[in-house]
Chains A and B, each alone.
Chain A
Amino acid sequence: MAVAGSAVGLGNFLRFPGLVAHPETGGGAFLIAYFVSLLVVGLPICWVEWTLGRFGGTQGYNSSPGIFHAIIRKPWGKYIGLLGFIIPVGVYFYYVVIESWCLGYAWSSFTGALDLGKDPAAYSAHFAAFTGLKADGAVLGGGPFLFFVGVFILNFVIIYRGLSKGIEFICNWGMPLLIAIALVLLVRVMTLGTPDPAQPELSVWNGLGYMWNPRDIARGLANPAVWLKAASQIFFTLSVGFGVIITYASYLKKKDDVVLSGLTATAANEFCEVGLGGLITVPAAFAFLGASAVAGGTFALGFNVLPQVFAGMPYGHLFGGLFFTLLFIAAITSSLSMLQPGIAFLEEGLGLDRRGSVALLGLITAVGCTLVVWFSAGLKALSTVDFWIGDIGIFLQGTLLIYIFNLSFGTERGWQEAHHGADLRIPRFFKPIIRWVSPAFLTTIFALFVLKNVAGWNLSFADARFTPTEPILDLIGGPGHPASGVARLTALGLLVFAGFSALLIRRAGQRWDAR
């Protein structure tokens, strides 16, 4: 349940529907690429991470550095786990900020303060004011800042209570509640019909069609961007390569079933993403505002478009409040999972007790979150951390995981290890997939991702062009795009954080070697 809670997040209800509905890279081709990616990357790496995590736990380690130290048994092995510490903690820097937006929007919806009429500009202005989009430091001291502080503290109070009384408790209550709220919203959206009889083309039925009609599948499957987006979504939505599953799995007993646990967590995430998220947001937005409203990206859909949609329906403040509560629950079960790998490492690596580890991690994340909250103009700090940690870092960690499983741990040994205590057998065709297909597929997708998002390749072989992307231009500058001081400071902060983490891992290694 904890892993499912970690996997089900904002992307299930905001990012996935937007990707399926995308006019150029969505549709049937995206769905085919999505499910293929689930089979050849998502599920295999999920099982790999569960297996390595449980193995590490049986060796007495619960953190990524410790688990890789136990698996690789070389002095450099523990440093492979560096990403498993800095990725979840780094993503927490900005994820908890977005989480506080969800809670703030839920409050505003329930109280009616988010009913801003029919003018889209009012909702954009509200979002800009709430997030400090226009100027650095704009949110400090105001209501949004109080929501952030409250959510930040709440996360640490829960994490301080431990795995069973804290994370498990929240996930055991939160996940069923999340699904119940989503089902209520699903019924509401499916019964919207045609909200404005004067515009019969704007209906839920046509909204579903806008999202699910397959379009030109052959052309779509030939487009590398479709595969890149589908594989990326699978990767991020399942939380594989995040450092979270490996830590959670390390707390299992040797005979606990990692095959069924991994499959169940994956299935729960897919149900929430495809079965619930895929039927709620886009059809509702289309039925009220048309196709143009759906094409604005994740934040625009969630915080600009949907409040306007809820304002237009009967009892909209109630359904809007429920929707943002749903997002908040999805977010907090994920953000808690981002803290646990850090806590596990600080406890076992530095010998800190729970109070000490929570205090130190609280200090580290407070510094990182302050950076994100203060440099809010254009969400530059947030997007910089998201790109280098939330995108590049996760891809890198996932790729490393599958190679270490095959080359260092051994595919055959790993296969046997995965089936210890398993009622369910992984179908045999997954063995060559894990051995050959997943590494090749993931390496290709990772290379495509870097070529597109770092080198700026236009993904065309016939007319290949490389134009530096915004995250790169932010750092080095370019014609008409001066370098961003905030992006540079943020990147420097991340480097310092990584260096500090490497020092902690070195110290932890000395403790482990002395065992």
Chain B
Amino acid sequence: MTTAGLLFMLISVGAVTTLFVWCLWKVLAGTKPPEHLAHIEPIETADLDKR
């Protein structure tokens, strides 16, 4: 692998890894409660009325 190839690899992999870790940190460190899906499971017909 050439030096340029190594640079391309390190920058590409480093950038996406940093972004992913930063996003995880932002999500986990957020002040708001964790995200929940506002969905009621309509297993039974009667449940549909609750939606």
Contact = CB atoms under 8 A, between A and B. Distances in A.
Contacts of B48: 347, 351, 353
A270 B17 CA distance: 8
A212 interface: yes
A72 interface: no
Interface residues of B, number: 33
A270 B41 contact: no
Contacts of B27: 260, 264
A89 B6 CA distance: 41
A165 B38 CA distance: 13
A353 B35 contact: no
B41 A165 contact: yes
Interface in A332-383: 347, 351, 353-355
B21 to A, nearest CB: 8
Interface string A234-275: 000000000000000001110111001101100110110111
B35 A261 contact: yes
B23 to A, nearest CB: 4
Contacts of A57: 38
Interface in B30-48: 30-32, 35-39, 41-45, 47-48
Interface stretch (A98-106, A130-138, A201-209, A465-473): A201-209
Nearest to A160: B43
B8 A209 contact: no
Given A205-B1, A208-B1, A213-B5, A168 B37 contact: yes
Contacts of B1: 205-206, 208-209, 212-213
A273 B44 CA distance: 39
A278 interface: yes
Contact of A252 (B4, B17, B35): B35
Contacts of B4: 28, 213-214
B50 to A, nearest CB: 12
Contacts of A264: 20, 23-24, 26-27
A31 B8 contact: yes
B9 A208 contact: yes
Interface in A202-231: 205-206, 208-209, 211-214
B9 A275 contact: no
A57 B45 CA distance: 20
Nearest to B2: A213
B35 A278 contact: no
Contacts of B16: 267, 270-271, 273-275
A95 B7 CA distance: 36
B5 A267 contact: no
Contacts of A253: 36, 38
Contacts of A260: 23, 26-27, 30
Contacts of B43: 162, 353-355
A347 B23 contact: no
29 contacts: A31-B12, A165-B41, A168-B37, A208-B9, A212-B1, A212-B8, A213-B1, A213-B2, A213-B4, A251-B38, A251-B39, A253-B36, A257-B35, A260-B26, A264-B20, A264-B26, A267-B16, A268-B23, A270-B20, A271-B16, A271-B17, A273-B16, A274-B16, A275-B16, A279-B13, A347-B48, A353-B47, A354-B44, A423-B30
Interface of B: 1-2, 4-6, 8-9, 12-13, 16-17, 19-20, 22-24, 26-27, 30-32, 35-39, 41-45, 47-48
The 6 A-B pairs at the shortest CB distance, nearest first, are namely: A209-B1, A162-B41, A213-B5, A271-B20, A264-B23, A212-B9
Given A211-B9, A252-B35, A260-B23, 6 more contacts: A31-B12, A208-B1, A213-B2, A251-B37, A354-B41, A354-B47
